[in-house]
Amino acid sequence: MDALSALTGLREATLGVILIVAAGCSPTGGPAAQAPAPEIARSTNCPAPTVSSWSTYSDPAYGFKVAYPPGFTFELQRAEIPGLLEFRRAVDKCYVNVSPPGQLEVTVYVKDSESLVAWVNKHTGGPASNSETDQYFSGVSHESPLRVAGRDALAFDWQPDAAPYTPHDTAMFISSAYVLVIGWWAEDAPGLPDATARSAYAAAMQADYKTMLANLRFG
């Protein structure tokens, strides 16, 4: 079994836990001993994807290919922030019209530093993602070098100024002009029915993120 198949299996298994809890049933089919789930949680109770294969998005402008999970959309988002060139999110179709409890993100920025550490440091401040500044991150932690698609990369976490989640990102240079950042986050505060569902959803998102990095290609 290859890495993509294994991680797809992990995602399906963990999302199965979410659907059981969100539907208000115990694993044996009896009623769950908990209050009714909020609307955002009930939206997870949707049909499973009809295919198990991942789709691939090819970006002709910046020269990379990235896969995204079955049953997800891959949407261009509007983000008028200095130095941010393209921002896309991969999100389960259940959450297209509501605020999701987590998502995968692919962002392209202008390269204006000679190292990844220097680039992250240059764009760390507060408030992050202010539309009038180029401060994309705040509260950066757990910086760790790694290799992705044969290139040097930098993994790091950061803390938005007013959000109940921690984004987990990996940055790498696409060329002498651009930086690619792939990341994920899942809600830490209630949004899914209980801690078990939130933990399962976060595990599924992290597995998807690792699959995206493993299958990333340039050129």
Could you give the CA distance from residue 127 to residue 170 in angstroms, rounded to a whole number?
Answer: 20
Lowest mean pLDDT among 13-27, 76-90, 99-113: 13-27
| pTM, full prediction | 0.79
Residue 206 backbone dihedrals phi, psi, to 5 degrees: -65, -40
The pLDDT confidence band at residue 197, using thresholds 50, 70 and 90, is: confident
* CA-derived radius of gyration, the chain: 18
- Domain total for the chain? 1
Q: Please report the pLDDT score of residue 51 as a whole number.
A: 67
Could you give the CA distance from residue 182 to residue 218 in angstroms, rounded to a whole number?
Answer: 14
Q: What is the mean pLDDT of the chain?
A: 80
Across the chain, the runs of DSSP E, i.e. the strands, are 55-59, 64-68, 72-76, 84-92, 102-110, 141-148, 151-157, 168-173, 178-186, 217-218
Task: Indicate the SS3 state at residue 41.
Answer: helix
DSSP 166: -
Question: Could you read off the pLDDT of 106-160 as tens digits, one per residue?
Answer: 999 999 999 999 999 999 997 776 777 899 999 999 999 999 999 999 999 999 9
Could you give the CA distance from residue 170 to residue 184 in angstroms, rounded to a whole number?
Answer: 9
Task: Indicate the SS3 state at residue 57.
Answer: strand
Q: Please report the pLDDT score of residue 105 as a whole number.
A: 98
Could you give the CA distance from residue 122 to residue 2 in angstroms, rounded to a whole number?
Answer: 38
Check which CATH number belongs to the domain holding 153 and give it. Answer: 3.40.1000.10
Are 158 and 179 in contact by the 8 Å Cβ rule? The answer is no
Q: Which domain holds residue 148?
A: 3-46+54-218
Could you give the CA distance from residue 128 to residue 133 in angstroms, rounded to a whole number?
Answer: 8
